[in-house]
Amino acid sequence: MTTLRLLTALLLLSLVSNVSARTPLVPAPPAIRATAYLLIDANSGRVLAEKNSMERVEPASLTKLMTAWVVFNEIRNGTVSLDETTRVSKKAWKMKGSRMFIEVGKEVKIRDLLLGMIVQSGNDASVALAEHIAGGEDAFAQLMNQHAKVLGMNGSHFVNATGWPDENHYTTAHDLAILTRALIREFPEYYAWYSIKEFTYNNIRQSNRNRLLWLDERVDGVKTGHTESAGFCLVTSAKQDDMRLISVVLGTDSEDARVEMSRKLLNYGFRFFESFKLYQAGTPLTEMRIWKGEEEMLPLGLDKDLYITLPRGQRGKLDASMSVEPEILAPAFKGRGYGTVEVRLGEEVITTQPLVALKDIPEGGLWQRFTDSILLWFN
């Protein structure tokens, strides 16, 4: 009887081991002591862990991510340059809280103000930038809200460039992840500044408040925030191999806690998930007959790279299928959708993306249109 029980136990253990080998297990996210948090893959946008990510919170100095976004856009549009200077106003000079210690009436380069805001979290630098871009902080806040709307940050509203507490100044963990993801994608050359550990201005050297830059070699940004009412906050991005994660931790009770909670989320994401490029933008995935055009075949593909994030070991179980319009008539226009690509993991739909034309195909000549009309009639 004892031998039979032992054999039965060994058989059950073997079955469990085989199932585990086929289906890697993913535990629930670790316990995170924060008012709200969010962990996403930066490339695919997939949410890996979250709590209260859509609830309004006070952003504190995380606001400066949006301040930087507005300035970076102005530089890209050619309305501002890094080497031009601005005169420091009395309002900027008098700002309380974290500062880069600019002096009233002095000319300061935009480059230095950006570094003072990014590395030293300078409230004085943020106001000086806002005044230079829009003439005043109120007008600059309008720009911030306009950009937030374009980005899809529907849970955010800004009234200043610093994150100084105000009941009408708020955001969400979800929105901060959207903003950070866009900043990394659109401005990689400026995002690199968020990894700078020290900056010296006016003979005053200050360290970046993001301690994870020293503690975790995977981390290369992004921003800290703290007020009494907001608690200790941290938006972090880290890269391991080809996978980049973004974590947002809001409302912890100490500087140590925001570091510890952020590391927990990053470790969880890198340990149990993987991210990879499934399809490259602009690569033909199929060709379809196009009627009445100068050419007979229309290449279809994706207009942006398609990244997939999965639990580790599940890549071989992916299944992709395409659905295409049954009858495509010229003219065809590059970027126009003519179907969809659906990617599934078992019964779960991972993503659905538009299948678009990869080139323009104008209408064919009179004879081509006539003969194709006859063929279509028979079909």
Question: Domain spans of the chain?
Answer: 36-273, 280-378
Distance CA 192, CA 204 (A): 22
Alpha helices for 238-332 (secondary structure H): 255-272
Contact status, residue 140 vs residue 159, Cβ threshold 8 Å: no
Phi, psi of 203 (to 5 degrees): 65, 20
Walking along the chain (379 residues) 10 residues at a time, the average pLDDT comes out as 36 40 76 96 96 96 98 97 96 95 96 97 97 96 98 98 96 98 97 97 94 96 95 97 96 96 97 94 93 90 94 91 91 94 91 95 81 76
CATH level 3 topology of 280-378: Peptidoglycan synthesis regulatory factor (PBP3), Domain 2 (2.60.410)
Contact between residue 275 and residue 309 where contact means Cβ atoms under 8 Å apart: yes
Write down the catalytic residue from 61, 89, 126, 275: 61
**Any catalytic annotation for residue 323?**
no
Q: Report the alpha-carbon distance of residue 43 to residue 280 in Å, rounded.
A: 13
Q: How far apart are CA 101 and CA 227, in angstroms?
A: 20
Annotated catalytic residue, options 64, 223, 264, 292: 64
Fold match, 36-273 / 280-378 = no
Helices 63-77 & 110-118, crossing angle to 10 degrees? 150
119 contacts 143 by C-beta, under 8 angstroms: no
Q: What is the pLDDT of residue 23?
A: 59
What pLDDT is recorded for position 232? 97
Cβ proximity of 252 and 261 under 8 Å: yes
CATH number belonging to domain 36-273: 3.40.710.10
CA 319: distance to chain centroid? 26
In residues, how long is the chain? Answer: 379
Q: Which residue has the tokens 């149990």?
A: 272
Asked if residues 317 and 346 have their Cβ atoms less than 8 Å apart, the reply is yes
57-95 core/surface letters (b: 16 or more CB in 10 A; e: else): bbbbbbbbbbbbbbbbbbbeeeebeeeeebebbeebbeb
Indicate the burial class of 324 (C-beta count within 10 angstroms; 0-12, 13-18, 19 or more). Answer: middle
Please give, one letter per residue, the 3-state secondary structure of 220-261: EEEEEEEECCCEEEEEEEEEECCEEEEEEEEEECCHHHHHHH
Note the pTM of the prediction, 2 decimals. 0.87
- The question of whether 229 is a catalytic residue gets the answer no
pLDDT score for 9: 37
| Distance separating alpha carbons of residues 377 and 379, to the nearest angstrom | 5
Of 121, 156, 247, 275, the catalytic one is 121
Tokens of 119: 């590395």
- DSSP codes of every residue in 133-174: HHSSHHHHHHHHHHHHHHHT-TT-B-S-SS----TT-BB-HH
41 φψ region: left (φ > 0), alpha (ψ -120 to 50), beta (else): beta
- Indicate if 61 belongs to the active site: yes
Q: Are 169 and 144 in contact (CB under 8 A)?
A: no
pLDDT recorded at residue 372: 63
